[in-house]
Structure formats: structure tokens, C-alpha cells
Amino acid sequence: MTEPVQILVDADACPVKEEIYRVAYRHEIPVLIVSNSHFRIPQHPLVSRVVVSDAFDAADDLIAEQAGAGSVVITSDILLAERCLKAGSLVLAPNGKPFTIDSIGAAVATRAIMNDLRAGMGTENIGGPPPFGKQDRSRFLSALDEILVRLKRAG
């Protein structure tokens, strides 16, 4: 039997929550918002929330436990993405770029290199990701819709 489709959101720093809700409503897919802090979520039967403690990786651990073949995980956390991919989930970054089994190894390695560089040079000399923009939001909407259509057809 196929696992039911659900969207799991690493929500504390997620810039596309409103987009997730819109796509989920259209496809009638439940959304679980996981965060370390309280913030407003829509009062809708498809949206639920779990607020975890502020312990290190508490939100990541809960998401990884819930992740499976029917899950779409929304996160920018590369290590969480890796855990969820290993559990069989589809994983999408808020900028619309998917994490895949084929790409996650390079992403983890790049993350480690960047952490080492930041430790040696400081963040002011390295910079961070480009600013989140309209094109990222649009790419995300399209990618999430495509993933959900594909899962529904398969399921």
C-alpha cells in the first residue's frame, strides 16, 4: 500500500509558507508545519502544526521521523534533506530546486567546505546565498505543483 501524500515543512525560516498552503489546498494535500516557535497558520482542516522544543535539531528530528515515500519535505537544510531522501521522501528547497539522491552528496560536501571557510575567514568574507526573489517563489510554486501532480498520479 502506498503511503498517503503529505507536505512536511521545516517552517521557522521558510519564506514560502503561503505558497505551500495555496498549492496544498488546490490538491487537497495535508500540510504539517514543524517549527521551534509559534506563528500564525491558517485555520484550515488540511493544515496542522507541531511546535517542538528549541533543542538542537528537534524540528529536523520530527520531520525525519514523519518522512516517507508519500512525503514532500520543504527545507533549505541540506542535512535534513539528506535524511528525508534516505527515508524515501521528495525534498524541495524554498527556491524551487529539488534535492535528489544524485545531488545530495555534492550539496553535503559543499556545505562542509563552506563551513570550514567561514570558520577560517569569517562570514563577512564569504557571503551567503543570493537574496530570495520573485523568480525563486515562482520556481517553487511550479516545482511543488509538479511534484504533487506526479505523486497523485502514482498513488
CATH of the domain spanning 6-101+134-154: 3.40.50
pLDDT for 25-47, tens place per residue? 999 999 999 999 998 999 999 99
pLDDT for 89-113, tens place per residue? 999 999 999 999 778 665 655 655 6
79 pLDDT above the threshold of 80: yes
- Alpha carbons 117 and 94: distance in angstroms, whole number: 24
56 pLDDT above the threshold of 50: yes
- Mean pLDDT over 132-152 rounds to 93
- Alpha carbons 148 and 136: distance in angstroms, whole number: 18
**Strand ranges inside 11-126, DSSP E:** 31-35, 47-51, 71-74, 90-92, 98-99
The reported pLDDT for the residue numbered 111 is 56
Mean pLDDT of the chain: 87
Query: Which sequence spans correspond to the domains of the chain?
Result: 6-101+134-154
Q: Which of 117, 89, 85 is nearest to 103 (CA)?
A: 85
DSSP-assigned beta bridge partners for residue 86: none
pTM: 0.85
Instruction: pLDDT band for 1, please (50, 70, 90 cuts).
Output: very low
- Alpha carbons 84 and 11: distance in angstroms, whole number: 15
92: which residues sit within 8 A by CB, 6+ positions away?
A: 72, 73, 74, 98, 99, 140, 143, 144, 147
Maximum distance among all Cα pairs of the chain, rounded to whole angstroms: 51
The reported pLDDT for the residue numbered 106 is 59
52 pLDDT above the threshold of 80: yes
- Alpha carbons 76 and 85: distance in angstroms, whole number: 13
Q: Which of 23-32, 84-93, 115-124 has the lowest mean pLDDT?
A: 115-124
